[in-house]
Amino acid sequence: MLFGEYVPPSKVLTDEVNAYAERVRKHLVDAMEKVSVKTQPPELAAEVTKRVPPSARKNYTEIDDAGFLLLSEIYDLGSRIHNYQYIERYRSMVSKDTPKEIPAALTGHTYTLRSYEIYTVLERVVQLLKFARRIAEASGLPSILNDKKYESRMKKEFDYRLRERHRIVHAHERPSLVSRITSFGAQNADNEIVKDVLGGIAVVQGIALKLLKERYPDITMPNVTDPDFYRGYLDRVDQEAAKMWELLTIYLDECLSLPQPTTAPVSGN
């Protein structure tokens, strides 16, 4: 394999998503059973209307129907965050025999797609929290509107990738060095101007690495041909997915006043 052997995702596994959704389901069912009026109040009804087609709206009139929609969104977001880890793993399907245009295009696509997926999760979870708050209120649960807190935290955690998405979309923004390099493409590899640009970048990078090594003699430079480098790279991707899922659950827990699971005490000998 050109980029290394396939390594399965290590974070946000399906069982973890299912277990969390089940905790939310039980919490909402317990709360909804204590509510005397089962019909959705206007604020919640407006949120439900956004999420179902007009022809099916008559099938989603009670509070527990809204709860079903919320669970569906949790499953969907959990799946999206889990699948985020595959974006960089597509590279493992590329071999030395693959036409050079494909890995070059794939590099650009994966770089862009990671930024887009993080932005999609951000936007979707903001709306999820607004929806969850209305469900909590209708179910008699204490709740707070914390979508702004979540949004601020996500933007802090993923500042670079979210800014990069903005740069890629808007032509008036100055592109980053990485996006410039990935935009060259294999079809331009033999272009003399492109060769000069990449050569200049390599020279500057070489000087920077030399100065870094002089200042920090013990520092180890990464070897991109080492299989451990690729595995470490995938581990950082998995950590990004884990952080997205962690923030989703933290703020949804807070929004729904979801009790934290208790751990049975370990008995001594």
Residue 9, domain member (yes or no)? no
Show the beta-strand stretches assigned E in 19-112.
none
Which residue type sits at 153? R
Q: Which residue ranges of the chain lie beneath pLDDT 70?
A: 1-3, 166, 170-213, 216, 219-229, 263-269
Residue 97, domain member (yes or no)? yes
Instruction: Give the per-residue pLDDT at 183.
Output: 56
Instruction: Give the per-residue pLDDT at 189.
Output: 52
3-state secondary structure 227-269: HHHHHHHHHHHHHHHHHHHHHHHHHHHHHHCCCCCCCCCCCCC
Residue 261, domain member (yes or no)? no
Instruction: Give the per-residue pLDDT at 198.
Output: 45
Instruction: Give the per-residue pLDDT at 178.
Output: 54
Instruction: Give the per-residue pLDDT at 186.
Output: 47
Instruction: Report CA torsion sign: 239, 244, 247, 252.
Output: negative
Residue 4, domain member (yes or no)? no
Instruction: Give the per-residue pLDDT at 19.
Output: 97
Residue 95, domain member (yes or no)? yes
Residue 153, domain member (yes or no)? yes
CA distance 72 to 44: 16
- Number of domains the chain is built from: 1
Residue 3, domain member (yes or no)? no
Instruction: Give the per-residue pLDDT at 200.
Output: 56
Instruction: Give the per-residue pLDDT at 269.
Output: 43
Q: Which domain holds residue 54?
A: 14-175+226-256
The kind and range of the H/E element at 152 are helix 147-157
Residue 7, domain member (yes or no)? no
Number of Cβ atoms within 10 Å of the Cβ of 45: 17
Instruction: Give the per-residue pLDDT at 100.
Output: 81
Average pLDDT value over all residues in the chain: 84
CA distance 28 to 257: 10
Query: With b meaning 16 or more CB within 10 Å and e meaning fewer, what string describes 153-186?
Result: bbeebbeebbebbebbeeeeeeeeeebebbebee
